[in-house]
Structure formats: C-alpha cells, structure tokens
Amino acid sequence: MTDQEERPVLLDFPEAGIARLRLNRPKLNNALSLELQSQLSNHFAELGHNPDVRCILLTGGNTVFSAGGDITSMADTGPIDIYQRHTERVWAPIQHCPKPVIAAVCGHAYGGGCELAMHADIIIAGEGADFCQPEIHIGIMPGIGGTQRLVRALGKAKAMHMALTGKPISAYEAWIGGLVSECVPDNEVEKHALRQAGLIARMPPLATEQIKEVILAGMDASLDSGLALERKANALLFASRDQKEGMNAFIEKRKPTFTGT
C-alpha cells in the first residue's frame, strides 16, 4: 500500500490559488475517523493562513462524499470520552476558515458527512447525491452542527423532518430547499466545482474573505447590525490595491490582476 493510499485525507493544488482536499477512505465510505477529522482540521488550519490559497475544494470522490461518523469507534464510548474528544475544537478550523470553501458532493452525505458538507460556503451536488441525518436510528442525534445548520439552510419544518425521521433527501430536494447551491450531472460534479473554484480564485482575495465573513456574521445578527458590518467592510476594501486595480481595469476595459493587497 502506498503512502497516498494510507492517508485518510489527500491534498493537492490542481490550479493556481486552489487547494483540493479529498476524503480518502473509499473502502469505508469515507467514514469520519478521528484520524481523518484531525488531518482535515490541520489542513484547514494551514490552508486558511496560506496567502497563495484563494479557494478550497472539498470532495469525497466520485461515488460517495461521506457516510458519516465511524460508528465502531463510538459504540462502547461513554459520555465523558465523547465530551473529551472536543469535536468543536477539531472542527473549528473548518468552521472559521476565512477562505471560500466549495464542497463537491457525489453519492451519500450522511450524518457527519452531511454536517461536513454544510461547513462549506457552496455545495455543488450530483443529481444522484443524497443528504441525511440518520443519527436517531442509532439512539443519538446530530452532534457536529446538524441541528443548527440544517434549520438555517432548510427551515424548521424540513430540518425537523430530517432529524426526527432520519430519512434522506435527494440532491434536487436539497437544491430546492436551499441546502445545495447547484445540482449537476454526477459525472460533472468535480469538474464543475473546480471551474467555480477557479472563478472565485481569480477574484480579489480581500473582497472574497470580507464577503464570507459578513454574510456568516450577519446571519445571526439583526438586519441593522448586519448592514453596519457590510458598510464598514465595504469601506475597508477601498483601502486595498485590488479595489484600485479592479476599478481601473473596468474603466480601461481590460482584465484585472488581483494580488490580495
């Protein structure tokens, strides 16, 4: 077995400005082992501070995104052990990553896999993908943000239905409900996601990070508070070289070159 085959998360850079993270436990449907979660956390922490990375593409491959948590590691675990795993700390670099994140989802995104996909800013799903929070079937509940992110994406009624019945929804239902950004043919998912990542990577990095920060912060704020954040962030961007470059390029009818300064 090669070193690459042994690693639960693979990292490569398919294009300038794009980092691609691939879950790499295909024989176990990309179950989220503790090692996989730790590596994913470390990668996001490093990529979030890498000035050469402008967009992160997260995928599980062409057949399955992730079937969820590694049940064998939890079956005989007690509450103190579960608490001391501090998944909120492990997942914090993903949750707070300043770079735009695109999830390319094929096949099942179940349990923790669905919760992982919901950490992304944009979800591009294959037509055959499905999303599910099945934890209730094994006597527990979503524990990595499923109850909170689902309701924000789909609303109370659909989130309750998913969490209380454990039934999956199709990619089309997820798109109609607002959980998924785009629904494309299965064989086009990663290529389309890579094109979208390339588009974002060519945008001014300071603006993309400010847009992400303000949208996420404004979701839990009042409208007035959110608008205040927006005004200040927009004003701040007028101090950047990229703002000057972007506007001058528009006036001069040429393509801008953004440097992130």
User: pLDDT (tens digit, 9 = 90+) per residue, 81-122?
Assistant: 878 778 889 999 999 999 999 999 999 999 999 999 999 999
CATH number of 205-252: 1.10.12.10
Q: State yes or no: pLDDT of 3 exceeds 60.
A: no
3-state secondary structure (DSSP) of residue 208:
helix
Answer whether 43's CB lies under 8 Å from 87's CB.
no
DSSP 203: S
pLDDT tens for 194-240 read: 999 999 999 999 999 999 999 999 999 999 999 999 999 999 999 99
For the chain, the domains span: 3-201, 205-252
Mean pLDDT of all residues belonging to the chain:
94
pLDDT tens for 142-182 read: 999 999 999 999 999 999 999 999 999 999 999 999 999 99
Distance CA 130, CA 101 (A): 20
What pLDDT, on a 0 to 100 scale, did the predictor assign at position 2?
Answer: 53
At the top level of CATH, the class of 3-201 is: alpha beta
90 contacts: CB under 8 Å, gap ≥ 6: 37, 38, 41
How much helix, strand and coil, in percent to the nearest 5, is found in the chain?
A: 50, 15, 35
Answer whether 38's CB lies under 8 Å from 92's CB.
no
First and final C-alpha spacing in the chain: 44
DSSP 32: B
What pLDDT, on a 0 to 100 scale, did the predictor assign at position 83?
Answer: 81
